[in-house]
């Protein structure tokens, strides 16, 4: 006998605990994958930014841009009820990865850079 399929009664309503839990877990998995799709897009953009920075002779790090993004992220998080520490930690991780990707791109010379003589 499978007890997972037996409805649970609570306050006169029938609850299907496992199906609700599974639905929520499925939704979390979908949202998590959406986040990683956005991370992939962000990394692609960081690579393109590296190409532009290389062409224009700009440094990888731009603290003014980082401070502005941090301010915007904090405004969003505070307005959304998300903890500052979590938001800043996640943003720091994203920025570190962007810098790593840009350093890698500039160091090895992306295909776009090689085509244009930047290697």
pTM: 0.74
Q: For every one of its 119 residues, what pLDDT tens digit does the chain have, with 9 covering 90 and above?
A: 554 555 555 555 555 567 899 999 999 999 999 999 999 999 999 999 999 999 999 999 999 999 999 999 999 999 999 999 999 999 999 999 999 999 999 988 655 544 544 43
CATH number of the domain that 76 lies in? 1.20.59.10
**Model pLDDT, residue 18:** 72
Q: Does residue 7 lie in a domain region?
A: no
The parent domain of residue 73 ranges over 22-115
Q: Which conformational region is residue 34 in: left (phi greater than 0), alpha (psi within -120 to 50 degrees), or beta?
A: alpha
CA-CA distance, 119 to 116, in Å (whole number)? 9
**Model pLDDT, residue 117:** 44
Domain count, the chain: 1
Q: Which conformational region is residue 110 in: left (phi greater than 0), alpha (psi within -120 to 50 degrees), or beta?
A: beta
**Model pLDDT, residue 38:** 98
Q: Does residue 10 lie in a domain region?
A: no
């Amino acid at each position: 006998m499978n007890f997972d399929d037996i409805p649970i009664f609570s306050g006169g309503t029938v609850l299907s605990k496992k199906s609700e839990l599974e639905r929520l877990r499925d939704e979390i998995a979908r949202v998590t994958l959406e986040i990683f799709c956005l991370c992939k897009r962000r990394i692609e953009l960081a690579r393109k930014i590296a190409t532009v920075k290389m062409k224009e002779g700009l440094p990888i790090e731009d603290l003014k841009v980082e401070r502005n993004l941090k301010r915007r992220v904090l405004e969003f998080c505070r307005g959304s009820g998300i903890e500052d520490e979590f938001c800043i930690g996640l943003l720091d991780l994203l920025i570190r990865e962007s810098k790593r990707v840009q350093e890698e791109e500039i160091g090895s010379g992306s295909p776009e850079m090689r085509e244009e003589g930047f290697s």
